[in-house]
Amino acid sequence: MKPTDEVLAERRARVAKRWELTDEVVVLRAGEPATWSGTDQHFAFLPHPDVAYLTAVGSPGTTLAFDAAAGEWELFGPRFTPERLVWEQPPTPVGQPLDELEAWLEQRNERTVIELGAGATMPEVLPSPAASDERDTPDSDAAAGAAETAPGDGADEHADASTGATVLRLSAALALERMTKDDAELDDIRQAAAASTAGFEWVYQHAAPGMTEREIQVGMEAQFYAAGAPRVAYDSIVASGSHGAYLHYVYAGDDPLRPATRTVEAGDLLLIDAGAQFGGYASDITRTMVVGADPTDEQEFLWKLVLSAQQQTIDMCRPGNVWRDVHLAAAHILGAGLVEMGLLRGDPAELVTEGVVALFFPHGLGHLLGLSVHDITSIPYSREPSDDPLLSQLGPGRVLGPGMVTTVEPGIYFIDALLCDPTRREKFAERVVWERVDELRGLGGIRIEDDVLVTDGDPEVLTAAIDKPIRIG
């Protein structure tokens, strides 16, 4: 559901409190459509997620401004000329006309202006925490970054506030606020999940040997739209057989002009990673099935192993748990299974530490979900470990808390780029039973993914309505 004005005011108040600014002016821009190279056409537009979060408006050019001295927010929206209205329908009018933004800023031209959102320029190098602030709280980090370029405090000696630590600190503080979803956000994610359910149910009923990956993708996505989704959350992955070994295998990834597609054969694994979007919020689901035949012993063992790892780590999505520890738990479970299957030798904990398990599980267990399928990734370093007291709360060292939505998506893959590399084969000669592994090359990959809400009690699987069949067709 669209957030009410009261909900938007609460979001803005919480963000302003985190920023702890005093006299600055902050400008958050939604951005403009990007053009196709060499044409007058544009890519489909989505607003910068920070602006979408604070305004619930998606029109290009939408700008939200904050006057810290007055503690007031002002929204500016585009208005079309009569000439443009001949060709295009008008955007929903919001706030003040965008043409008035320049005059609004001119009235505050003696103040530091900080550009965030699509207008932000992030630092190329992560600033040292000590260089920005000697204190250790997230809110004071943000305020300290702003203070570096405040008028009367050596502003002329510093670089433009829009290109330094200030932008990073304020953006990170906003991202930290976005990590906890309110009821309006959760409602949109649930509606996206419901539309996705319709698409996966179509797959279970119709996908069969002889169909192409593209046919399955089109049929599934049509059901997303029929169920009310305005768009997909990301390019759908529909990968059969060996294609499942490419983590992000997408249609036309080989050649956008003349894309190839594979015909599904009986006994193939079919990995589908897809999700609908609603209100700007993403869903993200993966299911892997054997099509048109009973699974082989190897397929069944690996599928059940991945499912077990997912079930156990979903149960760990509770307040106070560190995400890195949840990921490592999945890696240990998968490693133990690969030892049991005879593909690896040794203690699972050592196999994880040495990077052996990563040959078969080469990605993170999951990511935050929200206004981007990989939420808050507009912040540099947000998916990397950090000693910074603020950024560390966004990355893999984050502590799970109520209201966070994360994917949980363990997987096992047989990726030639990793398994056929001579250096790796030599390095792990004592750990990997290469003869056994080579027998399974071409199998593809198995991934099972759901969207999980951390609550004060048991985790809530927002995509639980989507079945997990091991065989279809």
Residues with Cβ < 8 Å from 387, sequence gap 6 or more? Answer: 129
Q: Are strands 450-453 and 445-447 parallel, antiparallel or unpaired?
A: unpaired
Continuous H helices in 207-322 = 213-226, 297-314
One DSSP character per residue, 397-452 reads TPBP-TT-EEEE--EEE--HHHHT-HHHHHHTTTTB-HHHHHHHTT--EEE-BEEE
The pTM of the full predicted model, rounded to 2 decimals, is 0.91
Write the pLDDT tens digit of every residue in 271-309. Answer: 999 999 999 999 999 999 999 999 999 999 999 999 999
pLDDT band at 386 (very low <50, low <70, confident <90, very high): confident
- The one-letter amino acid code at 190 reads R
User: Does residue 151 surpass a pLDDT of 90?
Assistant: no
Q: What is the pLDDT of residue 131?
A: 42
Residues with Cβ < 8 Å from 277, sequence gap 6 or more? Answer: 192, 229, 230, 231, 232, 233, 283
Nearest-CA neighbor of 277 among 201, 190, 181? 190
Write the pLDDT tens digit of every residue in 109-132. Answer: 999 999 999 999 887 666 655 444
Nearest-CA neighbor of 398 among 409, 412, 388? 388
Burial (CB < 10 A; 0-12, 13-18, 19+), residue 257, is exposed
Q: What is the pLDDT of residue 327?
A: 97
pLDDT band at 158 (very low <50, low <70, confident <90, very high): very low
Query: Phi-psi category of 352—alpha, beta or left, where left has phi over 0 and alpha has psi -120 to 50?
Result: alpha
Q: What is the pLDDT of residue 431?
A: 98
Task: Supply the mean pLDDT for the chain.
Answer: 91
DSSP letter, residue 221: H
Write the pLDDT tens digit of every residue in 40-90. Answer: 999 999 999 999 999 999 999 999 999 999 999 999 999 999 999 999 999
Q: What is the pLDDT of residue 133?
A: 41
Write the pLDDT tens digit of every residue in 207-239. Answer: 999 999 999 999 999 999 999 999 999 999 999
Encoded tokens for 310: 């997912």
Q: What is the pLDDT of residue 155?
A: 36
Q: What is the pLDDT of residue 189?
A: 98
Q: Are strands 471-472 and 285-291 parallel, antiparallel or unpaired?
A: parallel
